[in-house]
Amino acid sequence: METAWFEGLTAARIATVEALLAAAKEADGVAAVGEAVHLRLRPGATGSRHLLAERDGVLVGYLHLDVVGDADGNKVAELAVHPEHRRRGVGTALVEAVLAERPRIWAHGGHPGAEALAAKLGFRKVRELLKLRRDLAGELPEARLPEGVTLRAFVPGRDEEAVVRVNAKAFSWHPEQGAMTEDDVRLKEAEPWFDAAGFLLAVDGDDRLLGFHWTKTHGARRGEVYVVGVDPDAQGGGLGKALTLAGLAHLRATGRDEVVLYVESDNAAALSVYTRLGFTRWDSDAQYSK
């Protein structure tokens, strides 16, 4: 088996990597890498290094290294091994090739093979991202906004700066979300799932942004509470709950009958809110470090 690092990938190599990731998702029932990796696989994307493992000219493994790192300065890796080439040392070789970078490594969906590999190489779990879900059947509680607050849809080309400003304040503690830039927002505006009508902004009488609920759709049936962010100066009046409910109502109105969300396992306040709204645990992603 041969491995090689690339700063950028050709269109042909990108297609091969995407095919491997699709095969892994089909076999495991969960994506092997997160949304950010797929965005970084686009031609011209920067901030990444790509490790490809081939056997007899066939791609058998892929590792993505985010060299920009998260808000805490950690380089972050995600990897996948083709289902037909597992248990042959491919995953071990990929991880060993990146050890000098001292990365944190994501394992999505609690895959037992990933947990075994982490233990074998001396990694420990340092973070867990829970995936919750609920159905959208039946009545939803009314989204009661604080006095003087109204909802409107996001306007591309106008609202990016305000969203990034509020997001940075709301998620100053979060290693990835708090680092979102205006370019990141615009990049996602180009995604097929983006719908400005499902990007709900809570504003005061002067149209000053107080919080937002960015919803996302996955096919015809499933929606996602993608990001709910509230300016800390506007917290305490139930705005976060109201935004969440407004987003759920929007997703149901578009025909979605199930909604999912991700939340840090140690975010007790958010977990309490989502549990009271009927969400239950479905799955989890784990991040490992040496």
pLDDT reported for residue 147? 93
pLDDT per residue as tens digits for the range 33-45:
999 999 999 888 8
For 258, the token pair is 């199930």
13 is in which domain, residue-wise?
2-122
For 150, the token pair is 């109204």
pLDDT reported for residue 7? 92
Q: How confident is the model at residue 112 (pLDDT cuts 50, 70, 90)?
A: confident
pLDDT reported for residue 45? 84
Whether 116 shows a pLDDT value over 80: the answer reads: yes
Averaged confidence pLDDT in the chain: 93
pLDDT reported for residue 121? 87
Q: What CATH code is carried by the domain that includes residue 257?
A: 3.40.630.30
Question: Percent of the chain, pLDDT > 70?
Answer: 100
Which of 89, 122, 155 delimits the end of a domain? Answer: 122
> Is 44 inside a domain boundary?
yes
Question: Percent of the chain, pLDDT > 90?
Answer: 77
Q: Are residues 148 and 89 in the same domain?
A: no
> Is 290 inside a domain boundary?
no
Q: Are residues 201 and 96 in the same domain?
A: no
CA dihedral 231, 271, 225, 253 (to 10 degrees): -110
pLDDT reported for residue 119? 85
Give the torsion sign (CA, 170, 176, 179, 183): negative
Average pLDDT over residues 126-133: 94
Whether 236 shows a pLDDT value over 90: the answer reads: no
Q: Are residues 49 and 9 in the same domain?
A: yes
pLDDT reported for residue 66? 94
Whether 193 shows a pLDDT value over 90: the answer reads: yes
Which of 90, 122, 154 delimits the end of a domain? Answer: 122
Q: How confident is the model at residue 113 (pLDDT cuts 50, 70, 90)?
A: confident
Binding residues for acetyl-CoA: 79-81, 87-92, 228-230, 235-241
Q: Are residues 163 and 208 in the same domain?
A: yes
pLDDT per residue as tens digits for the range 46-99:
899 999 999 999 999 999 999 988 877 889 999 999 999 999 999 999 999 999
Q: Indicate the range of 105-114, 146-155, 218-227 predicted with least confidence.
A: 105-114
Whether 137 shows a pLDDT value over 90: the answer reads: no
Q: Are residues 211 and 259 in the same domain?
A: yes
Q: Are residues 249 and 187 in the same domain?
A: yes
Query: What 3 state SS string does the chain have?
Result: CEEEEECCCCHHHHHHHHHHHHHHHHHHCCCCCCHHHHHHCCCCCCCEEEEEEEECCEEEEEEEEECCCCCCCCCEEEEEECHHHCCCCHHHHHHHHHHHHCCEEEEECCCHHHHHHHHHCCCEEEEEEEEEEEECCCCCCCCCCCCCCEEEECCCCCCHHHHHHHHHHHCCCCCCHHHCCHHHHHHHHCCCCCCHHHEEEEECCCCCEEEEEEEEEECCCEEEEEEEEECHHHCCCCHHHHHHHHHHHHHHHCCCCEEEEEEECCCHHHHHHHHHCCCEEEEEEEEEEC
Report the distance separating Cα 20 and Cα 118, nearest Å: 21
Average pLDDT over residues 169-176: 88
Average pLDDT over residues 183-196: 94
Please name the residue that has the structure tokens 């040392």.
89
Among residues 156, 115, 143, 45, the alpha carbon closest in space to that of 287 is found at 115
Q: How confident is the model at residue 168 (pLDDT cuts 50, 70, 90)?
A: very high
Please name the residue that has the structure tokens 């509230």.
230
Binding residues: 35, 79-81, 87-92, 176, 216, 224, 228-230, 235-241, 262
pLDDT per residue as tens digits for the range 243-278:
999 999 999 999 999 999 999 999 888 899 899 999
Domain count, the chain: 2
Q: Are residues 267 and 150 in the same domain?
A: yes
